[in-house]
């Protein structure tokens, strides 16, 4: 567990090995948690095999939805569409397609949305998107395009009654001047019709809990779902965090120190850290979690198992 969060519960520890007793990690969640999983469209045949092995492993956990990312400037538009449609057809789990404002006119984006609607896709993750030059660059709306996520949501609602999820930032978006401005932007997205806010990844439970309190005080009355990123490649997460405004605490860096060539131990630590974070949030009333899987099943499956989210047992 992290030195900042402390024990998850106050009752005495179990005598089971490593303290993983039923009081701390129940065989089944007493009230089933809702989980969802994010994937990226594969770029190669090998990546496609890995993705569908991951989907096969995670589908029995009965997630609320799968989401599929959308590359900058629509670079994965066709692969996203194909992946989303196949998920719906083969798993029976409702998929959510990411859609951004970047690199396209309103008409072009509307055509993509209509194609999803015609394919039976009713859930969109509506995002402004990163600048065409990549994270860290200055964002400028595309000529004739949607200016921001709130405008995109309004446009989607004109096409059909999509369920819409949006991004939220417990540690504020890098482009926002301060937390107040960031919260105002989130409120505009909710006012435009967002049904759910999914947060950027974070590593301190208190950051999410304070953010949840701020959204409630602001009158945001849709679910605010924590986005969880299991960390096994620490250098990779440093790069990602630097671009999206998430801080990486010193205690996390110390846990991975000296493990550059020890992937197995990194995975064990990753599952422990993310599991501790989720249990802390669960103890504070959080009942929904969104996992950034990076198209790998093992860590996400293990964390869900610790949370009591497990495949349904056969009655036979």
Mean local confidence (pLDDT), 302-311 = 94
**Among the listed ranges 60-69, 134-143, 199-208, 277-286, which one has the minimum average pLDDT value?**
134-143
pLDDT of residue 177: 85
Q: How much is the pLDDT for 246?
A: 85
Provide the pLDDT for residue 243.
Answer: 73
Percent of the chain at pLDDT > 70 equals 85
Question: 191: closest CA among 211, 167, 220, 155?
Answer: 220
* pLDDT tens digits, 1-22: 333 333 333 333 333 333 444 4
| Whether residue 38 lies in the annotated active site | yes
Question: Cβ distance 16 to 24 under 8 Å?
Answer: no
- Whether residue 35 is predicted with pLDDT greater than 50 in this model: the reply is yes
Rounded (5°) CA angle 221-289-98: 80
Let me know: does 153 contact 193? Beta carbons within 8 Å: yes
Query: How much is the pLDDT for 103?
Result: 86
Please tell me the predicted confidence (pLDDT) of residue 9: 31
Question: pLDDT class for 305, splitting at 50, 70, 90?
Answer: very high
The pLDDT assigned to 280 comes to 96
- Is residue 24 predicted with pLDDT exceeding 90? no
Domain with residue 186: its CATH number is 3.20.20.220
Q: How confident is the model at residue 26 (pLDDT cuts 50, 70, 90)?
A: low
Residue 122 pLDDT greater than 90, yes or no: yes
Cβ distance 39 to 55 under 8 Å? yes
How high is the pLDDT of residue 140? 77
Alpha carbon of residue 12 to chain centroid: 33
Residue 43 within a domain: yes
How much is the pLDDT for 32?
73
Does residue 211 form part of some domain?
Answer: yes
Q: Is the pLDDT of residue 81 over 70?
A: yes
Tokens 């492993």 correspond to 57
Mean pLDDT across the stretch 173-189?
90
29 has a pLDDT exceeding 60: no
Residue 118 covered by a domain? yes
Q: What is the number of structural domains in the chain?
A: 1
Identify the residue with better confidence: 238 or 183: 183
In this structure, is residue 114 part of a structural domain?
yes
Structure tokens at 93: 């789990």
pLDDT at 252: 93
How high is the pLDDT of residue 315?
56
Taking the CA atoms of 41, 43, 45 and 47 in sequence, report the sign of the dihedral they define.
negative
Q: Is residue 121, in this structure, part of any structural domain at all?
A: yes
User: 218-251, pLDDT tens digit by residue?
Assistant: 999 999 999 999 988 888 888 888 777 788 999 9
* Average pLDDT along the chain: 87
Q: Which domain holds residue 222?
A: 26-306
Looking at the domain assignment, is residue 217 inside a domain? Answer: yes
In a domain, 59, yes or no: yes
pLDDT band at 286 (very low <50, low <70, confident <90, very high): very high
Does residue 1 lie in a domain region?
A: no
Dist CA 99 CA 108 (whole Å): 11
Q: Which residues contact 252 (CB under 8 A, 6 or more apart)?
A: 2, 203, 231, 234, 273
Please say if the pLDDT value at position 135 is more than 50.
yes
Per-residue pLDDT for 306 more than 70?
A: yes
Active-site residue, from 34, 38, 94, 287: 38
């Amino acid at each position: 567990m992290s030195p900042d969060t402390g024990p998850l519960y106050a009752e005495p520890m179990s005598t089971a090995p490593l303290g993983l007793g039923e009081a701390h990690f129940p065989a089944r969640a007493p009230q089933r948690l809702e989980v969802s999983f994010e994937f990226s469209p594969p770029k190669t045949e090998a990546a496609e095999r890995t993705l569908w092995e991951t989907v096969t492993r995670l589908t029995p956990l009965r997630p609320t939805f799968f989401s599929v990312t959308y590359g900058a400037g629509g670079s994965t538009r066709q692969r996203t569409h194909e992946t989303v449609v196949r998920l719906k057809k083969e798993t029976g789990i409702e998929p959510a397609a990411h859609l951004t404002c970047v690199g396209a006119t309103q008409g072009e984006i509307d055509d993509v949305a209509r194609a999803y609607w015609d394919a039976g896709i009713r859930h969109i993750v509506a995002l402004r998107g990163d600048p065409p030059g990549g994270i860290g660059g200055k964002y400028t709306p595309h000529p004739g395009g949607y200016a921001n996520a709130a405008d995109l949501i309004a446009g989607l609602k004109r096409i059909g009654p999509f369920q819409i999820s949006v991004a939220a930032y417990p540690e504020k978006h890098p482009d926002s001047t301060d937390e107040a401005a960031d919260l105002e932007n989130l409120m505009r997205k909710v006012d435009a019709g967002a049904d759910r806010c999914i947060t950027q990844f974070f590593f301190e439970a208190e950051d999410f809990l304070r953010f949840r309190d701020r959204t409630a005080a602001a009158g945001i009355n849709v679910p605010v779902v924590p986005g969880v990123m299991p960390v096994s490649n620490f250098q990779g997460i440093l790069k990602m965090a630097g671009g999206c405004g998430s801080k990486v605490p010193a205690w996390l860096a110390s846990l991975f120190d000296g493990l550059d060539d020890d992937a197995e131990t990194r995975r064990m630590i990753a599952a422990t850290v993310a599991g501790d974070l989720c249990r802390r949030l669960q103890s504070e009333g959080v009942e929904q979690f969104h996992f950034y899987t990076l198209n790998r099943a093992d860590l996400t499956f293990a964390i869900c198992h610790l949370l009591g989210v497990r495949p349904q047992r056969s009655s036979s």
